[in-house]
A and B are shown apart, each in its own frame.
Chain A
Amino acid sequence: GAVVSQHPSRVICKSGTSVKIECRSLDFQATTMFWYRQFPKQSLMLMATSNEGSKATYEQGVEKDKFLINHASLTLSTLTVTSAHPEDSSFYICSARDGDRGGNNQPQHFGDGTRLSIL
């Protein structure tokens, strides 16, 4: 089945550091990828929709200059948390649909998430 690979799985770094998270679709092409954030015992909250070759669409309240998204190819999207602070500590998860199967009514496939801890 469709596989989404996310890297790294865990990051611990100092306040002020920028952190890049990669999301790859391994066996399908994804024109659209999604980035979510999840706090403990909370739901997945959509941060942005990443579109291959164009600008990402951010949800209300998500700072686009803080969370930079690049979707340079049909199999790779990156999320960069710039100048991270302790309040950015969270579980970040990417997701993609199989674009070759039409995209409509297809399940979203998720990466295994990145646990970001800012000291």
Chain B
Amino acid sequence: SQKIEQNSEALNIQEGKTATLTCNYTNYSPAYLQWYRQDPGRGPVFLLLIRENEKEKRKERLKVTFDTTLKQSLFHITASQPADSATYLCALALSGNTPLVFGKGTRLSVIA
């Protein structure tokens, strides 16, 4: 069956360190992968999108990698800050117009 797994339910790191979150998927061949941030009681907010033919994407302190051979995406936040504390969701789409399917998310806590 198809699965999207975000390996850590929760991750605690020290302020200033790099946070690395993992997203693995099985039995999917996604056209692209997206990462979202969700704060408690709010809807997800789009962060980054990476296509199947792209290896890496960056935006300010964020970096996403996409390895279609390993079926894995890594999401990095460098120089992390307490304000980065939130749940981060990985989402896949099989094609451009299909809805996103989400992982359970990783709750990141950045400790000052």
Residue positions of A touching B, CB distance < 8 A: 4, 6, 32, 34, 36, 41-44, 46, 49, 91, 93, 95, 97, 102-113, 115
Contacts and interface: CB of A to CB of B under 8 A. Distances in A.
Given A42-B104, A43-B104, A46-B99, A109 B51 contact: no
A103 B96 contact: yes
| Of A44, A49, A95, A112, most B-chain CB atoms within 10 Å | A44
10 contacts: A43-B4, A43-B102, A95-B99, A95-B100, A103-B97, A104-B95, A104-B97, A105-B51, A110-B46, A112-B42
Contacts of A43: 4, 89, 102-105
B11 interface: no
A40 to B, nearest CB: 10
B89 to A, nearest CB: 7
Interface string B13-37: 0000000000000000001101010
A43 B89 CA distance: 8
Contacts of B101: 46
Contacts of A97: 97
Contact of B31 (A4, A93, A105, A112): A105
Given A49-B99, A113-B41, A113-B43, A107 B34 contact: yes
A104 B45 CA distance: 18
Contacts of A111: 43
